Structures are given as C-alpha cells and as structure tokens.
C-alpha cells in the first residue's frame, strides 16, 4: 500500500477575473503579472472572450425589457463559468477587477464553497456605484480611494477594506530606445494619451499652438481637437502608450471628469497613467490629486491645479529639459521602489493573510520523500520550463501543467497520470 | 502502414469487451494494432489479442508507489509517442484515460481527447452519455458502442464463436464479482447451483475466483447438500488470470455474475448462465455471442447505481430464490414465473449483440428497440430505415445543444 504523499503549504493560487472591457482590463492583466512576481500560481478568467456575445445581444433589436432579461441571463451564465473555473482550479483567492462579470449568486456560491473572494475596485466610487450592492459579498474589498469611501464601506458592514492605489508594470512600462521611425511616429513636444472626456476636451482645446498631439478614443467629433488627434482616434495599445510616453518631452496627465467645468477638477485617486509614465522615466505634468502627495513627493511630480497653471507649466518645463529629466528620474526611482503591481499584489496578499483566517494555508500535496532520480530530474526540468519556484508543491506543478495548451510532453502527461492515480488510490 | 492504438485502462471484462473494435482494426489492411492496458493485464491481453502489440501502464492500484508509477508511465508514454500513431482510441471515461490522451493531438484521438487542456467527449460518446441517463432503455451493448468508433466494424457474428459446451461434464462457478452487491449471496447461489446440477445430471463443479473469494466459496460449499458439495472442487485463489482461458475451455457451462470471466467465456464460446442484478444490466454488458443465458433482475429500480446504498435491502436478489425460477433452472416446465425477473438469450443482429427476453416480460423492449433503430440511423448503417430518427429518439439521443451548437471536437 503506497503511503499518502505529505502535505504542506504551496504557492498561493489566484483566479483573476478580468472585466469584459474597459479601463480596468489592462490593470487586471498587469495585476496578474504582479501576482506571478509574488510567486502565485495565476489563472486568468478571460471575460473579454465573452464580450462579442454581449455585443451580439445588443444587435437583436428587441424590446428593452427583453434585452435586459437576456443580458442578465448572459451575465449569470458567464458567472457560472467563473464558478466552474474556480471549482476546477481550487484557488486560494478569486480576485475580481471592477466590473468583472461575477453575479451576487455566483459570489454566494463561492462563499458557500469556502472560496475566498476579493475585489480590486479600480474605479471612482462616486461614478461607479454598484459597489453598494456587491461589496458585502466579497471577503476583501480593495479600493483606490480613501475617505469617505472607506467609511461608507464600513457603514455597509464591509470591514476588510484596503486602500490599494494603482501602479506600474516595470517589465512593460520602462525606458525605451526608439528608432527614428518610432520617434517620428510617436514623438511630440507635448502629448496626451487617453479618452476624450468633457474636461479634457475643454482643457486641451487651446493647446494646439503648443504642439499637443492627442492619442486615444472618443475625441473624433470635436472640431477643435481634430487637428491634434493622432491615428484617427484609434485605440492605442499598452505597448504604443509606452512608446508615446518615451517619445514625448512633456506628457500631459489630466484625470477624467464627466463635467467640462472646471476642466481641472479636484479629485482624490491617482490614475494608472501617473505610475506608468513615471516608470518609463518620462516626464509628466499631472493635475494635482488629493492622494498624490503620499505617493510622490513634490520634487517627484510636476503638477497643475487649473488651466492657467497648466499652460504656464507646459511653457516652463518645455524650456527646462534638465529639470524635466531630474523630476522624471526621481519619479521613476520612487515608482520602482514602491508603486509596482508586484508591490500592490504583495500588499493585497499580506492583507488577505491578516484578515482572512486560514488564507493561503491550503493543503498542498508535496513531492514524495526519496523521490526517484528519474522523477526528480523530470520535475526539476518541468519547473524550470513552467517558471515555477523551487517551493512549488506537487499540486502547484499539476495545476500549472493542467493550464497548458496543446500536446503535453511525456513527463507532463506522466505527472497528470500520477496525480489521477494518486486521487484514485491513496 | 497505419499504426493504431487502443487504450483500454479498465478491468479484465472491459478488455474482453474491446474485442470487436480490436478485431475491426486488425482486419483493415495495413494496420498495425497496438493495445495499452493496465500492466497486470498484459499477459491476458496478449492471449486474447495475439495480433496486437501490448503496452502496460500502471493504471490499477497494484502495490506501486508514486515514484514507480511515474517512472513506468513515463517510459510507456515515451514509447507510445515514438510510435507516431495515426489514430488513438480512448475507451474509458476516466481521469487516467484523459491524462494519457494529453500525449496526443486531438486529430489523432478517437473517443475521448484532451483539447488544449479541456477534456472532451466524441460525438458518439456524447450520444452514449445522453441515452445512458436512463439505462432501462439501453439500446446498445458496450462492446458495440466501442466498436462503432471504427467506421465499418466487423460483423457481430465474427466477434465470438457461438456458445457450445465442451462436453466434459464439468460446470464452472464464479462465486463473486468485484462488486459484492452484483453477486448472488452464497445461499441464493447454492440454490441455483443445485438446480443447474440437477438439470445437467450431476456434473463436476469447479469453483473459480481469486484468493479473496475463498471465504465465499467455503460458504457456498456449506450451503450445498453433501452429495453436491463433494462434487465441487474449490480452485479459488489457486489459479492465475492466465490459467483461466484453459480452465474455461474445459467447461460445459459457466455460472457467473457479470464478470470478466463471463466475457472471457463468451470470447471462447463457453456457454454462460449469468445472474445479473443490482447495477448490472445485460442490455449493456451481457455476454457477446449467440446462445448464452442471462437471468436479469428487473425491479422498478433496476438497474441501480452501484455506488449508492440500496434502500430496498437488495430486493433484486429475491427472484433468484423463487421456486418457479429454480424449477426452470432445473429444466422443469412450470407455468409460473417470478415477478421482477427476465430470462434472456444472447442474440445478434446486424447492429451487434443484444439480449432477447424469452421468460417474463420486458416492459422497456419497445422503447429500447426504437432507440436501437435510431442509433443505427446515426451510425448510417444499412438496416436503419428512414424512420429511425423518430421524435422520441431525437429527444432522447440528443440534447438541444447537439443539434444547434458546433461540435466540440470533430472526431468519432
């Protein structure tokens, strides 16, 4: 009779549920990298793959009531896909990004099954208010704003709350050496990347004479902006954003507002672009935000608080390239030290360990003692190939192998076979 | 040359039931047939299918440790991959089978496959899962279902020889199957043995089984009258699986539950009298070939789920003690017949093997026949008439998604 394999803690497993679309989608993908950098085994629920179905529903041209019902059914179905994935992957944590398709029924089901859930609500709580209905169904609620949001969550009975600002992904957001063609295509004295919110339209309308180039969507119906708009207002990929940041002398960063007045409105949270431009070692002029000073010191961030100051600072920094470089370098150092997705995910995992009893202490089958040489060599090679740390348990390796596509190697298939054999007989 | 591999990782009985598929592969010109089984079954597989190259995997519990399982498995997988099979047939809906399927591309796989990490059933097996939701109407023998993975399987009559006694005056008794609930208790079995003993004019009895069956064999002996007990030789635990074919060849008849030995007897043409109860259902796993007898318990709860506890005190055993049945077994005419029991004869049609009820009634016969015709229509066989796909069949054999959504994976 074979002895059961010993058990101990292995890699934390996180099922990351992306939203179907929108601004928090890239944040989710970057968070996955951050989790991997923290030694997590990450599975991504690729909700954007379901987005075409949602679009097709909108093309039906049926009554609005019927469309509502169909969309709700669709959401429930996608939510069931998430719970099925959770059952198969057995994660320590299901981490949802804002607007991830996870219904209350699905959250209840996950809770009944003992699966821990967390939300990283990377949206403005004043605009996206659906958190009021959902927050209590998550075991942990991370947000990018402080008061009064945290108080309001507490009033709902949500106490496992965490202020977790956005961040940069240094493997993507980094200084680049651009060739001439790229400089030509992406370069500018003054640039902005982002969607055409009303306040931005108003703020940027008069900046044409300063050489502003605008990149991004939702600008195309504005005649004042049109001459500045690049690439016909196409969506800009994350990679091209990095090229633009690197190729621009001054990167504008104006947080969005649905109101045109004032164009530079007071606000608290700090957007991802702030960290991304900084991580690129590029210079940015950003509007002053309530939570910015605790993230960057004054000599690490050049700011403005109104349209007049914006123009003045553009002129000043355009004329002082050494100051631009110094600010940018300090901002980059601070970002790499404190504001990476790896750091954010470490904070999230540490917080989960603090406030969720037993978090991460799942039982993981580890390797048999006196592992035969053949098995040991194969496993070591496999772990290198799968980029798994030496601490990975048998269960971790199996989960990683199960996540692979295509035909498996002899060793991988033999490990899967061993796993199934073990479940059957030990 | 085309190399084909059949992966059969289940038990002895399943290995024997893979015969029609294996023979069909062997018949095709240019085929080199390989068979992968649990390593304990390699010698038997070589005996049953001498034309096949047999590979062994540590699929069953055995006395292996995990390191040994991994090493043996990896060696076997490396060898299988090297052989570059044109087609690989997976017959078992089991995690071990799916792990093995991960070695091969979906284009190579038949039956089951692992497509980009997702376990998939073929269209045929999806269909089978649909109709198996209500096993009472089972339209096809498992051996035929597996054979239909081949586009043109050999004729059913070419699978096993008709049942013919060896005329040695010797009857074999398999005292128990792997699942206790599917076997007659010793007292009930003893009464049946007495009747058969009487009908056969006092033959020699050979009690067969593994070492763990010895206590049951001893209880059976105690339940028999001395004059019959003294004619019984207990071979339980004294023979190996490899000895079994030679022993069976010397029998006039084998009394058995639904076991691997029963399928081996059918393979050899040794007449079988099989007792099917509990989860055993002869329309699915009855002996393949002409002229075997099956006594099938047919309570409203039959066939049940073996893994669920029986809430009826295994009442499906009762008909096997009924005086009318025992008289029938002893060869006496009696107009009575116990309720909840079907007396069947194994038969063949163009589609495959089946059991024809000749004693008692089969309330499910019409529905099963209709499904069988429908299944034949799905297979495109000549005996399928245009009406094979009746509305009832369409609803029973297929789920709505089968009609409307693209197949997951386009291989039989």
A303 phi/psi in degrees, rounded to 5: -130, 165
C-alpha distances out from residue A38 to A13, A25, A35, A353, B51, Å: 11, 20, 5, 14, 55
Q: What pLDDT shows up at residue A388?
A: 85
The pLDDT tens digits for B346-386 are 999 989 999 999 999 888 988 888 888 888 877 655 445 55
Q: Within an 8 Å CB–CB cutoff, is residue B211 touching chain A?
A: no
A412/chain B closest Cα distance in angstroms: 9
Closest CB from A372, A405, A408 relative to B67:
A372
pTM: 0.83
Q: Which of A197-206, A207-216, B200-209, B401-410 has the lowest mean pLDDT?
A: B401-410
Closest CB from A404, A410, A425 relative to B117:
A404
Query: The tokens 């699915």 sit on which residue?
Result: B284
Q: B310 in a domain, yes or no?
A: yes
Question: Which chain B residues contact residue A371 at CB under 8 A?
Answer: 67
pLDDT in single tens digits along all 426 residues of chain A: 334 444 446 788 999 999 998 888 999 999 999 999 998 999 999 999 999 999 999 999 898 889 999 999 999 999 999 999 999 999 999 999 999 999 999 999 999 999 999 999 999 999 888 899 999 999 999 999 999 999 999 999 999 999 999 999 999 999 999 999 999 999 999 999 999 999 999 999 888 888 899 999 988 777 888 889 999 889 999 999 999 999 999 999 999 998 889 999 889 999 999 999 999 999 999 999 999 999 999 999 999 999 999 999 999 999 999 999 999 999 999 999 999 999 999 999 999 999 998 887 665 565 666 677 777 788 888 888 888 887 788 888 898 898 888 999 999 999 999 999 988 987
When comparing pLDDT for A360 and B215, which is higher? B215
CA B58 – CA B72 distance, rounded (Å): 7
Question: Which chain B residues contact residue A2 at CB under 8 A?
Answer: 63-66
Give the residue extent of every domain in chain A.
Answer: 7-167+341-355, 180-338, 366-425
Q: B363 in a domain, yes or no?
A: no
| Cβ proximity of A43 and A403 under 8 Å | yes
B41 pLDDT more than 60: yes
> By a Cβ cutoff of 8 Å, what residues of chain A touch chain B?
1-3, 5, 368, 370-372, 374-375, 378, 402-408, 410-426
Instruction: Count the domains in chain B.
Output: 3
Mutate to test the interface with B, among A84, A381, A414, A422 (most CBs of B within 10 A): A414
Give residue B401's pLDDT band: very low, low, confident or very high (50, 70, 90). Answer: confident
Shortest CA distance from B119: residue in chain A: A402
Question: Which chain B residues contact residue A368 at CB under 8 A?
Answer: 65-67
B9/chain A closest Cα distance in angstroms: 12
**A327-364: b (≥16 Cβ within 10 Å) or e:** bbebbbebbbeebbbbbbbbbbbebbeeebeebbebeb
Closest CB from A5, A405, A408 relative to B66:
A5
Q: What is the 3-state secondary structure (H, E, C) of A126-153?
A: CCCCCHHHHHHHCCEEEECCCCCHHHHH
CB B103 to CB A407 under 8 A? yes
CA B325 – CA B195 distance, rounded (Å): 9
Nearest to B77 by CA among B106, B55, B45, B107: B55
CATH number reported for the structural domain that contains residue B252 in this entry: 3.40.50.2000
Q: Strand, helix or coil at B102?
A: coil
CA B235 – CA B206 distance, rounded (Å): 7
Asked if B191 and B290 sit in the same domain, the reply is: yes
Non-local (6+) Cβ contacts of A49 within 8 A are none
Shortest CA distance from B82: residue in chain A: A410
Closest CB from A378, A413, A418 relative to B69:
A418
Nearest to A11 by CA among A403, A323, A288: A403
Q: B162 in a domain, yes or no?
A: no
Instruction: Characterize the bridge pairing of strands B341-348 and B87-90.
Output: unpaired
Asked if B128 and B186 sit in the same domain, the reply is: no
Q: What pLDDT shows up at residue B228?
A: 96
Q: What does the DSSP 8-state code read for residue A44? A: E
Topology classification of domain A180-338: Rossmann fold (3.40.50)
Q: Within an 8 Å CB–CB cutoff, is residue B79 touching chain A?
A: no
CB B63 to CB A403 under 8 A? no
Asked if B133 and B112 sit in the same domain, the reply is: no
Shortest CA distance from A425: residue in chain B: B61
CB B70 to CB A407 under 8 A? no
Asked if B129 and B268 sit in the same domain, the reply is: no
Across A75-186, the runs of DSSP E, i.e. the strands, are: 93-97, 116-121, 140-143, 161-163
Q: What token pair was written down for B123?
A: 């269209």
Q: What pLDDT shows up at residue B388?
A: 64
CA B66 – CA A2 distance, rounded (Å): 7
Q: Strand, helix or coil at A96?
A: strand
Closest CB from A370, A378, A413 relative to B100:
A413
CB B67 to CB A375 under 8 A? yes
The pLDDT tens digits for B265-313 are 999 999 999 999 999 999 999 999 999 999 999 999 999 988 888 999 8
Nearest to B98 by CA among A56, A416, A93, A146: A416
Non-local (6+) Cβ contacts of B179 within 8 A are B278, B279, B306
R_g of chain A computed on alpha carbons? 24
pLDDT > 70 fraction of chain B, expressed in percent and rounded: 96
Q: B159 in a domain, yes or no?
A: no
CA B351 – CA B371 distance, rounded (Å): 12
Q: Within an 8 Å CB–CB cutoff, is residue B405 touching chain A?
A: no
Q: Strand, helix or coil at A117?
A: strand
CA A84 – CA A80 distance, rounded (Å): 6
CA A220 – CA A318 distance, rounded (Å): 27
Q: What pLDDT shows up at residue B62?
A: 74
- The reply to whether domains A7-167+341-355 and A180-338 share a CATH topology is yes
Q: What does the DSSP 8-state code read for residue B25? A: H
Question: Last residue of a domain, which of B106, B121, B136?
Answer: B121
Closest CB from B61, B73, B81 relative to A418:
B73
Nearest to A359 by CA among A118, A100, A137, A101: A118
Q: Strand, helix or coil at A404?
A: coil
Q: Within an 8 Å CB–CB cutoff, is residue B210 touching chain A?
A: no
Asked if B389 and B341 sit in the same domain, the reply is: no
| Cβ proximity of A423 and B59 under 8 Å | no
Asked if B328 and B201 sit in the same domain, the reply is: yes
Asked if B103 and B128 sit in the same domain, the reply is: no
CB A421 to CB B59 under 8 A? yes
Asked if B325 and B216 sit in the same domain, the reply is: yes
Topology classification of domain A7-167+341-355: Rossmann fold (3.40.50)
Query: The tokens 């009634």 sit on which residue?
Result: B361
| Cβ proximity of B338 and B315 under 8 Å | no
The pLDDT tens digits for B53-95 are 999 999 998 777 888 898 899 999 999 999 999 999 999 999 9
Q: What does the DSSP 8-state code read for residue A180? A: H
Query: The tokens 């098995």 sit on which residue?
Result: A375
Closest CB from B64, B69, B81 relative to A410:
B81
Q: What token pair was written down for A249?
A: 């002398």
Dump the DSSP string for A193-231: ES---HHHHHHHTT-GGGTEEEESSS-TT-TTTGGGB-G
Query: The tokens 């041209």 sit on which residue?
Result: A61
Asked if B303 and B237 sit in the same domain, the reply is: yes
Q: What token pair was written down for B375?
A: 């299944």
A112 phi/psi in degrees, rounded to 5: -60, -35
CA B254 – CA B274 distance, rounded (Å): 8
The pLDDT tens digits for B4-32 are 999 999 999 999 999 999 999 999 999 99
CB B70 to CB A422 under 8 A? no
The runs of H, that is alpha helices, within A190-340 are 198-204, 238-247, 272-279, 307-319, 321-338
Task: Please give the ipTM for the structure prediction.
Answer: 0.92
When comparing pLDDT for B412 and A50, which is higher? A50
Mutate to test the interface with A, among B11, B38, B59, B99 (most CBs of A within 10 A): B99
Dump the DSSP string for A343-377: HHHHHHHHHHHHHSTTTT---EE-PPTT--HHHHH
Please give the distance of CA A278 from its chain centroid, rounded to a whole number: 17
Q: Within an 8 Å CB–CB cutoff, is residue B382 touching chain A?
A: no
B25 phi/psi in degrees, rounded to 5: -65, -40
pLDDT > 90 fraction of chain B, expressed in percent and rounded: 75
Q: What pLDDT shows up at residue A229?
A: 92
CA B94 – CA B21 distance, rounded (Å): 19
CB A423 to CB B66 under 8 A? no
Domain containing B412 equals 122-154+371-412
Q: What is the CA angle A249-A252-A258, rounded to 5?
A: 165
Question: Which chain A residues contact residue B9 at CB under 8 A?
Answer: none
Query: The tokens 């990377």 sit on which residue?
Result: A122
Q: What does the DSSP 8-state code read for residue B339? A: T
CB A418 to CB B68 under 8 A? no
Question: Which chain B residues contact residue A406 at CB under 8 A?
Answer: 116
The pLDDT tens digits for B315-351 are 999 999 999 999 999 999 888 999 999 999 999 998 9
B412/chain A closest Cα distance in angstroms: 19
Q: Strand, helix or coil at B21?
A: helix
Asked if B104 and B149 sit in the same domain, the reply is: no
Closest CB from A3, A404, A425 relative to B61:
A425
Non-local (6+) Cβ contacts of B27 within 8 A are B154
CB A418 to CB B64 under 8 A? no
A376/chain B closest Cα distance in angstroms: 9
Q: Within an 8 Å CB–CB cutoff, is residue B68 touching chain A?
A: yes
| Cβ proximity of B78 and B48 under 8 Å | no
Non-local (6+) Cβ contacts of B191 within 8 A are B223, B320, B321, B326
Q: What pLDDT shows up at residue A198?
A: 92
Asked if B26 and B48 sit in the same domain, the reply is: yes
């Amino acid at each position: 009779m074979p002895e059961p394999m010993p058990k101990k803690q292995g890699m934390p497993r996180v099922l990351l549920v992306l939203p179907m679309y929108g601004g928090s989608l890239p944040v989710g993908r970057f968070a996955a990298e951050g989790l991997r950098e923290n030694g997590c085994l990450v599975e991504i629920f690729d909700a954007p793959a379901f987005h075409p179905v949602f679009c097709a529903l909108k093309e039906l041209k049926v009554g609005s009531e019927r469309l509502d019902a169909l969309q709700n059914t669709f959401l429930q179905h996608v939510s069931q896909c998430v719970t099925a994935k959770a059952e198969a992957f057995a994660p320590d944590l299901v981490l949802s990004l804002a607007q991830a398709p996870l219904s209350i029924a699905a959250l209840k089901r996950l809770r009944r099954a003992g699966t821990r859930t967390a939300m990283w609500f990377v949206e403005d709580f004043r605009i996206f208010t659906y958190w009021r209905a959902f927050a209590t169904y998550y075991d942990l609620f991370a947000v990018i704003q402080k008061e009064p949001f945290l108080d309001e969550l507490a009033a709902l009975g949500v106490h496992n709350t965490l202020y977790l600002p956005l961040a940069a992904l240094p493997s993507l957001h980094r200084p680049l050496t651009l060739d001439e063609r790229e400089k030509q295509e992406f370069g500018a004295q003054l640039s902005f990347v982002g969607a055409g919110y009303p306040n931005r339209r108003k703020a940027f309308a008069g900046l044409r004479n300063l050489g502003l180039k605008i990149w991004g969507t939702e600008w195309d119906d504005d005649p004042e902006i049109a001459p500045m708009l690049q690439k016909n207002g196409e969506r800009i990929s994350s990679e091209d954003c990095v090229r633009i940041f690197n190729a621009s002398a001054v990167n504008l960063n104006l947080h969005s507002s649905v109101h045109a007045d004032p164009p530079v409105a007071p606000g608290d949270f700090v957007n991802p672009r702030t960290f991304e431009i900084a991580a690129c070692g590029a210079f940015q002029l950003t509007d002053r935000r309530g939570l910015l000073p605790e993230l960057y010191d004054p000599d690490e961030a050049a700011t403005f608080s109104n349209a007049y100051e914006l123009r003045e600072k553009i002129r000043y920094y355009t004329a002082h390239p050494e100051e631009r470089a110094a600010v940018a370098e300090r901002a980059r150092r601070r970002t790499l030290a404190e504001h990476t997705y790896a750091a954010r995910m470490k904070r999230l995992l540490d917080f989960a360990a603090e406030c969720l009893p037993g978090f991460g202490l799942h039982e993981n089958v580890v390797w048999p003692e006196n592992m035969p040489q053949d098995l040991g060599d194969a496993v070591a090679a496999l772990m290198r190939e799968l980029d798994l740390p030496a601490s990975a348990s048998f269960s971790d390796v199996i989960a990683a192998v199960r996540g692979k596509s295509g035909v498996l190697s002899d060793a991988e298939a033999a490990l899967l076979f061993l796993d199934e054999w073990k479940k059957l007989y030990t | 040359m085309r190399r084909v591999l059949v992966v059969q990782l289940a038990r002895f009985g399943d290995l024997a039931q893979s015969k029609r598929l294996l023979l069909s592969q062997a018949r095709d010109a240019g085929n080199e047939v390989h068979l992968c089984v649990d390593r304990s079954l390699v010698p038997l597989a070589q005996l049953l299918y001498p034309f096949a190259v047999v590979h062994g995997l540590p699929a069953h519990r055995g006395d292996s440790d995990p390191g040994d399982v991994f090493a043996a498995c990896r060696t076997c997988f490396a060898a299988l991959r090297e052989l570059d099979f044109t087609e690989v047939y997976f017959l078992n809906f089991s995690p071990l089978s799916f792990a093995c399927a991960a070695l091969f591309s979906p284009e190579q796989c038949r039956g089951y496959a692992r497509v980009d990490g997702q376990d998939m059933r073929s269209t045929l097996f999806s269909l089978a899962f649909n109709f198996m939701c209500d096993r009472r109407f089972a339209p096809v023998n498992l051996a035929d279902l597996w054979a239909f993975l081949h586009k043109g399987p050999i004729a059913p009559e070419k699978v096993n020889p008709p049942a013919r006694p060896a005329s040695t005056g010797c009857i074999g008794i398999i005292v128990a199957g792997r699942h206790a609930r599917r076997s007659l208790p010793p007292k009930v079995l003893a009464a049946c043995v007495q009747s058969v003993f009487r009908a056969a004019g006092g033959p020699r009895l050979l009690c067969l089984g593994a070492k763990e069956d010895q206590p049951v064999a001893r209880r059976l002996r105690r339940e028999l009258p001395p004059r019959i007990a003294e004619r019984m030789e207990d071979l339980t635990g004294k023979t190996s699986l490899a000895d079994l074919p030679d022993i069976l060849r010397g029998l006039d008849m084998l009394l058995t539950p639904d076991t691997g030995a029963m399928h081996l007897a059918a393979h050899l043409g040794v007449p079988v009298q099989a007792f099917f109860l509990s989860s055993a259902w002869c329309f699915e796993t009855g002996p393949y070939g002409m002229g075997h007898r099956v006594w099938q318990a047919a309570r409203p709860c039959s066939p049940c789920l073996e893994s669920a506890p029986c809430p009826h005190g295994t009442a499906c055993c009762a008909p096997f003690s009924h005086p009318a049945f025992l008289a029938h077994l002893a060869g006496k005419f009696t107009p009575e017949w116990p309720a909840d029991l079907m007396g069947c004869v194994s038969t063949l049609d163009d589609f495959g093997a089946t059991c024809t009820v000749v004693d008692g009634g089969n309330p499910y016969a019409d529905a099963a026949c209709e499904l069988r015709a429908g299944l034949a229509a799905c297979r495109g066989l000549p005996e399928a008439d245009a009406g094979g796909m009746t509305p009832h069949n369409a609803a029973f054999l297929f789920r709505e998604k089968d009609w409307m959504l693209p197949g997951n994976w386009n291989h039989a």
